[in-house]
Amino acid sequence: MSYDLNFWKYKEGAAHNNQKIYELACCDGETVDILENLPIEEILKKISDAFSDWTKLSDNQYEKEGKGSFEIFATSQAVRFDCYSMQESDMNSLMDILIDFGCPLYDPQISERFDNWTDR
Which strands, in side-by-side order, build the sheet including 2-8? 55-58, 61-64, 68-74, 78-84, 2-8, 105-107, 112-113
Asked if residue 120 has pLDDT above 60, the reply is no
Encode pLDDT of 83-107 as tens digits.
Answer: 999 999 999 999 999 999 999 999 9
- State the DSSP H helix or E strand holding residue 51, giving kind and residue range, or none if neither: none
Asked if residue 119 has pLDDT above 70, the reply is no
pLDDT bracket for residue 55 (50, 70, 90): very high
Question: pTM higher than 0.85 for the full model?
Answer: yes
Distance of CA 78 to the CA centre of its chain: 7
Asked if residue 29 has pLDDT above 60, the reply is yes
Percent of the chain residues past pLDDT 70, beyond the cut: 97
pLDDT bracket for residue 59 (50, 70, 90): confident
Phi, psi of 75 (to 5 degrees): -120, -175
Percent of the chain residues past pLDDT 90, beyond the cut: 93
